[in-house]
A and B are shown apart, each in its own frame.
Chain A
Amino acid sequence: MGTQVKDVIIKPDAPNTLLLDKHADYIAAYGSKKDDYEYTLSEYLRMSGIYWGLTVMDLMGQLSRMNREEIIEFIKSCQHDCGGISASIGHDPHLLYTLSAVQILSLYDSINVIDVEKVVDYVKGLQQEDGSFAGDKWGEIDTRFSFCAVATLALLGKLDEINMDKAVEFVLSCMNFDGGFGCRPDSESHAGQIYCCTGFLSITGQLHKVNADLLGWWLCERQLPSGGLNGRPEKLPDVCYSWWVLASLKIIGRIHWIDKAKLRSFILACQDEETGGFADRPGDMVDPFHTLFGVAGLSLLGDEQIKPVNPVFCMPEDVLQRVGLQPDLLS
């Protein structure tokens, strides 16, 4: 029987050196043309887009090229009366964008420009009876939101404001027979969700509840012959999984189970030499999202041209040191 493996083939002329200056130029210029079609259509996630751009610039030591004052004013205009923060002005608040906003303000050491107490109220208010978190008032439940809730509160130093035991109970109820996690109980294991759950368990000091060997094996099985990582069995590799899989492995102390050299060459091949930036896989269009996770992945692999990145928060380690956060990692 032939072994059909879903994978990509990296062409011999694919980029194989890190083009940091080009990536910095790409991000710095992104969003300067505010009537650009693609930029416009992504307004619904603008806060996250800003977080991606700022974080990757900071990791590359280029944060000063971004417009701090404009961004801080923007965030102030996005906090609603309920305390939650929206993706953009006039949009509705959501836990996802509340976290992004708090991450940005942490980068800029300007947390107090927003009403922190109200943010805490908003996050608390989204916890359900079973310990899960809704994303907003409309009630979608997902372990992503459990992560967003505790990450936000940890950055604000207010972790004790929610029902921690129930929150942990819900996340653990999403652990599957393969050691992975899904978005809700019984959902298929998925690397993005696993990142959220291991990040959650790190922040809440519950990593000992993970079956690290079993999960570590599932995660290192994401590596394909091309060196790239996928998000679940029989899917194509994508550079953003260089973050979610790798960060998860780092959190559970098994990052060395990945073939680092092969992964690095896959990530580098996802660069666009002309425009700068990273795409999901070699030859595709770049965007800020994949650019952040490509660079962050390389940082986790030990590239010394990039600042060390924290695997739980996906923020520069020096920012977390300043905030005083040192989430647990397994060894």
Chain B
Amino acid sequence: MSSVEEISNPVAENLEEDGVEEENTVEEAEMEYEEPVKGGYIFYRDRKEWADLEPVPQDDGPNPVVKIAYSEKCNKSSDCFGLQKGTKSVQVTCILHESVVFDVCRHYRRVLLQALDKDLREEMKYITAIIEDQPKNYQVWHHRRMVVEWLNDPSEELQFVAEILSQDAKNYHAWQHRQWVMQEYKLWDGELEYVEELLEEDVRNNSAWNQRHFVISHTSGYSDSAILEREVQYTLKQIKKAPHNESAWNYLNGILQDGGLSSYPGLLEQVTELQDTCSSPYLTAFLVDLYEDALETNSSSYDQQETLNKALELCKLLAEEKDTIRREYWNYVSRSLQNTYGSGDPVASSSDPPPPSSSQQPDTEPSDP
């Protein structure tokens, strides 16, 4: 539970997607409790400038500002002091190297940072260590963003995020932070190269494909035909390396949406060529999309009837053989194509979406607001 971050209600992100079990993470935190935080971090109790302060044991003091329940196991030496109200100057900050408690203390940290005019570089070192320890927490990343804003210095950010991504190339928060830094401080140079490096390491990294789209959209854009062609060829090259790659096909589809798949010169030929060596359900699905586009735009380069037949044939292949788990979707596409472009009577099916009253949910009438 402890590593499930800032979640709520249905609005939750369980970021432990890659098999890092929550319970294990809790145990790890327990085991690492008495080890120093990574990155050369020095506990406040060991710093000479704080030497005149008396540490207050956890969960003690008459008016603890931050009352955190601790179990027996937690009550070990840690870099935590209780905040005391009503003192002339702020005595201490609550510093715990488990980011889960960071969530509780963050308000006090920020208030204190602002009030004390503390060296924000120290704070940057602190938050760097915390994020390295617990990189899947919303709050620690937002805190870092605030420190960067206060310092107005993004110079370490891209390097730092790259380090975090080197441990987990799909960390959602890391990518958010990277995007914010780049947009805020206009740091676009070299990002396309960075994305290409990541795709060399893992061509199926969806985050990297998203980032590619982000960088190009915000710099050159896709309207220049030379750029678009570069991207199409780059993507086809990656597809040849790993044809069963949803991200690459999504990207190809995405960048060609505006112009239209069927009218892009040479695309149909290049994709059809791949069918022998690089077949995948994604390739077949892409062809369906391409044929659908040809039908929709009533393209003169395509025989309408033949194109419809091909599209229907591929839908059948997907539904019955290549992508059976999504047969309902492929049957829907097939029916839609037939109904829209076919010459016969409209096709219906028992697996069409049932009207609401026949669903398994109770028969509910819309109520007045």
Stretch touching chain B among A58-66, A123-131, A230-238: A230-238
Residue ID in chain B nearest A222 by CB atoms: B246
Q: Could you tell me the distance between the alpha carbons of A196 and B30 in the complex, rounded to whole angstroms?
A: 34
State how many angstroms separate the Cβ of A18 from the closest Cβ of chain B. Answer: 15
Does A34 have its Cβ within 8 Å of any Cβ on chain B?
A: yes
State whether A184 touches B98 (Cβ < 8 A).
no
Q: Mark A66-96, 1 if CB is under 8 A from B, else 0.
A: 0000000000000000000000011110001
State whether A43 touches B4 (Cβ < 8 A).
no
- Chain B residue total in the interface (Cβ 8 A): 92
Stretch touching chain B among A9-17, A20-28, A108-116, A253-261: A253-261
Q: Which residues of A contact B360 (CB under 8 A)?
A: 301-302, 304, 308
Partner of A196, one of B11, B71, B253: B11
Residue ID in chain A nearest B26 by CB atoms: A38
State whether B179 touches A187 (Cβ < 8 A).
yes
State whether B68 touches A235 (Cβ < 8 A).
no
Q: Could you tell me the distance between the alpha carbons of A23 and B59 in the complex, rounded to whole angstroms?
A: 34
Q: Which residues of A contact B356 (CB under 8 A)?
A: 329, 331
Q: Mark B1-45, 1 if CB is under 8 A from A, else 0.
A: 110101111111110111101111010011000000000000000
Q: Knowing A48-B7, A186-B179, A220-B326 touch, does A287 contact B22 (C-beta < 8 A)?
A: yes
State whether B326 touches A236 (Cβ < 8 A).
no
State whether A324 touches B368 (Cβ < 8 A).
yes
Q: Knowing A1-B244, A96-B8 touch, does A37 contact B74 (C-beta < 8 A)?
A: yes
Q: Mark B141-157, 1 if CB is under 8 A from A, else 0.
A: 01000100000000000
Q: Knowing A91-B104, A99-B9 touch, does A188 contact B73 (C-beta < 8 A)?
A: no
Q: Which residues of B contact A217 (CB under 8 A)?
A: 329
- Which B residues, 229 to 275, have Cβ-Cβ distances below 8 Å to chain A? 241-247, 250, 253-255, 257
Residue ID in chain A nearest B149 by CB atoms: A139
- Which B residues, 327 to 369, have Cβ-Cβ distances below 8 Å to chain A? 327-329, 332, 351, 353, 355-356, 360-362, 364, 366-369
State how many angstroms separate the Cβ of A44 from the closest Cβ of chain B. Answer: 4
State whether B23 touches A38 (Cβ < 8 A).
yes
- Which A residues, 151 to 183, have Cβ-Cβ distances below 8 Å to chain B? 151, 176-178, 183
What size tier do the contact residues of chain A reach?
35 or more
Q: Which residues of B contact A138 (CB under 8 A)?
A: 106-107, 110, 142, 146
Q: Could you tell me the distance between the alpha carbons of A167 and B287 in the complex, rounded to whole angstroms?
A: 37
State whether B104 touches A43 (Cβ < 8 A).
yes
State whether A44 touches B332 (Cβ < 8 A).
no
State whether B8 touches A148 (Cβ < 8 A).
yes
State whether B9 touches A314 (Cβ < 8 A).
yes
Q: Mark B276-319, 1 if CB is under 8 A from A, else 0.
A: 00101000000000000000000000000000000000000000
Q: Could you tell me the distance between the alpha carbons of A284 and B24 in the complex, rounded to whole angstroms?
A: 10
Q: Which residues of B contact A325 (CB under 8 A)?
A: 367
Does A51 have its Cβ within 8 Å of any Cβ on chain B?
A: yes
State whether B13 touches A96 (Cβ < 8 A).
no
Residue ID in chain B nearest A44 by CB atoms: B103
Q: Mark B65-77, 1 if CB is under 8 A from A, else 0.
A: 1111111111000
State whether A35 touches B10 (Cβ < 8 A).
no
Residue ID in chain B nearest A216 by CB atoms: B329
Does B205 have its Cβ within 8 Å of any Cβ on chain A?
A: yes
State whether A140 touches B138 (Cβ < 8 A).
yes
Q: Could you tell me the distance between the alpha carbons of A275 and B173 in the complex, rounded to whole angstroms?
A: 33
Q: Knowing A36-B71, A289-B12, A326-B367 touch, does A233 contact B250 (C-beta < 8 A)?
A: yes
Partner of B8, one of A48, A92, A293: A48
Does A210 have its Cβ within 8 Å of any Cβ on chain B?
A: no
State whether A187 touches B104 (Cβ < 8 A).
no
Could you list 30 examples of A-B contacts with CB < 8 Å?
Answer: A1-B243, A3-B244, A40-B69, A44-B101, A45-B4, A45-B6, A48-B8, A48-B12, A89-B67, A91-B104, A96-B6, A100-B9, A138-B142, A138-B146, A177-B255, A184-B179, A186-B179, A187-B175, A190-B172, A192-B12, A233-B206, A234-B247, A236-B17, A238-B16, A257-B329, A259-B328, A280-B14, A290-B14, A293-B10, A325-B367
- Apart from A96-B7, A253-B353, A289-B7, what are 6 other A-B pairs with CB-CB below 8 Å? A44-B101, A100-B8, A100-B9, A218-B250, A302-B360, A324-B369
4 A-B pairs with the lowest CB-CB distances in the bound complex, closest first: A302-B360, A177-B254, A96-B8, A285-B23
